[in-house]
Chains A and B, each alone.
Chain A
Amino acid sequence: MKALVWHGKEDIRCDTVTDPEIQDPRDAIIKVSSCAICGSDLHLFHNFIPGMMPGDIMGHETMGEVVEVGSGVDGKLKKGDRIVVPFTIICGECDQCKRGNFSVCETTNRKRHLAEKVFGHSCAGLFGYTHLTGGYPGGQAEYLRVPFADATHIKVPAGIPDEQLLFLSDIFPTGWQAAVQCDIEPTDTVAIWGCGPVGQMAIRSAVLLGANQVIAIDCLPERLSMAEAGGATTINFETESVVERLNELTDGKGPEKCIDCAGMESHVMASQPDTLLDRAKQMVMLESDRPHVLREMIYVCRPGGIISVPGVYSGFSDKIPMGAFMNKGLTMRTGQTHVNRWTDDLLRRIEEGEIDPSFVITHTVPLSQGPEMYQVFRDKRDSCVKVVLRP
């Protein structure tokens, strides 16, 4: 089959690889109908997340049709079922899964010894990601083996196009969880840094959860226009001071809820010296992440407020203003997404026409053009916001 394979920093190729096989009774194989490139795939493309190996198949936003099931799937899936594959692989049986903390499933990371060394404890296995999270082959391919398939799936009905359902795999529940973690009240202002695909979903989620005001921060006109279309007031950080403008929009009090959808690769600007220093340190491996957004959120968030971090961080961040964080009594909530905790509700909202996540797609291309699209997406060429690949 064809698959997008990681060969090294900025080197993803469309290779021919062997087809996946059932390895465990709980496995299923799907024929991929649609998959997408995620912003966090760019962290892997840049080799900022440790633990990638040449030959790893990329991709964790995937859906398709079940073509083979293992003997242990217990009738929960059958050939012909249409499923979206959540990016977190879950067993559905461990303590954490029972609590709904699916992204920290205690069973599915097959290389847990690596994660335990780095993070102290293991988290769930993830598709198409680092070997710290199991090194499972990803779904930017024609076929995908789904481990623990009896639990790791979202069954979706026929009649709704792939474009509306595909993002149940990651960005929609990720944006949703980011907003839910904020405990949004009807009087709240929610400020969202980064208007990439997750940021766009977080904006819509904050609106659906009843925020009084949603403010979106980015510098790209196409993303800001999409954010505005979703009901956000926008701030272009290249032309305005984010802190001044946020205070202005909140009567000097600051937003009660702040969401970081930028993560470890914050934009670098000469007018923000800390971003330059972070970039320099990251280049010479003195710091793994560029946490400018975290600093700014802690500084501007209203005392007693909540900071939600769906953006990916990989290792070590410097100069986090813990003094401000502690003295302002802020709360930080973060984590990979507990996808299956949210998908029943989100699927219902899609079915009822409350939201249509396909609004975010700007490019749809064959899988074979995937390597080029990684570059287009990374360079923000052609006003690219979200790429869907068709195997």
Chain B
Amino acid sequence: MFHFSNIVRTDGDPKIIEGGRSLKRPADQLARALGWFSIGLGVVELFAPRRVTETLGMEGHETIVRAFGLREILAGMMSLSVDKNAGLWARVGGDGLDAAALLSGLTADNPKKSNIALALLMVGGIAMLDYRAAQDTKPRRPPRDARRKLYPNRSGFPKGIESARTAAKQIAAHAKA
């Protein structure tokens, strides 16, 4: 991958000879993949809702499909951001909404109900991936009640704060005079 970055480097600047280890975890890669998937699905739902409703035998629900598309795009962008964990949990919630919407179309008189069953199966699989990625990308900040080191002796003034204050006052008085 770094060979491309070497090509665009300004002449004379250091180029990568050997790449170091990345600290990215598999969960980070999964979050990225889910983010792009979410955006792709969202674009389809937003701009081709009729294709979606026809496939599912749920004609007349285009508006809700568009709204879901917008939600998918936002959740996808969040999953690609630094706050990917929030984005992934948003996707888990969205999976629930998708499943509920699909179940509402799973009626005996729907000729495409087999497509809905397939879509439900896919939503279930994706939901599992979303949940797994959300669990594995939890922020690693220490808990609020974690024991912290304190630095009460680090004034930065080798001669003491009072000495620094006195010197400042003398300078101010001198300047005024």
Binding site for B on A (CB under 8 A): 1, 3, 5, 7, 9-21, 23, 46-48, 53-55, 57, 110, 135, 137, 141, 186, 200, 204, 207-210, 220-222, 225-226, 228-231, 279, 282-285, 353-357, 359-360, 362, 371-372, 375, 379-383, 385
Contact = CB atoms under 8 A, between A and B. Distances in A.
Nearest to A356: B158
B142 A381 contact: yes
A231 B15 CA distance: 46
Q: Which 7 A-B residue pairings sit nearest by Cβ, starting from the closest?
A: A55-B5, A210-B168, A13-B20, A383-B149, A359-B156, A225-B150, A17-B14
A226 B161 CA distance: 13
Nearest to B23: A371
Interface stretch (B61-69, B77-85, B104-112): B77-85
A238 to B, nearest CB: 8
Contacts of B14: 1, 3, 17-20, 57, 137, 141
A54 B12 contact: no
A17 B17 contact: yes
Nearest to A368: B20
Contacts of B153: 229
Given A20-B14, A57-B14, A283-B78, 9 more contacts: A13-B21, A17-B17, A207-B161, A208-B167, A222-B151, A231-B161, A231-B165, A283-B82, A375-B23
B152 A229 contact: yes
B101 interface: no
Interface in B49-72: none
A210 B175 CA distance: 12
B155 A230 contact: yes
28 contacts: A5-B16, A7-B1, A7-B2, A7-B19, A10-B82, A11-B22, A15-B20, A17-B17, A20-B14, A46-B82, A54-B1, A54-B2, A54-B4, A186-B169, A207-B165, A207-B168, A210-B165, A210-B168, A229-B154, A231-B155, A231-B164, A283-B77, A283-B86, A284-B77, A284-B81, A354-B159, A356-B156, A385-B151
B2 A207 contact: no
Nearest to A226: B151
B142 A53 contact: no
Contact of A14 (B20, B83, B152): B20
B2 to A, nearest CB: 6
Contact of B20 (A16, A20, A46, A383): A16
B16 A360 contact: no
Interface of B: 1-2, 4-6, 8-24, 28, 74, 77-78, 81-83, 86-87, 139-142, 148-159, 161, 164-165, 167-169, 171-172
B22 A283 contact: no
Most buried by A among B24, B161, B168: B168
A46 B80 CA distance: 11
A79 to B, nearest CB: 20
Contacts of B9: 55
B134 to A, nearest CB: 15
A360 B159 contact: no
Contacts of B22: 7, 11, 13
A204 B156 contact: yes
Contacts of B18: 15-16
A222 B148 contact: yes
B69 to A, nearest CB: 14
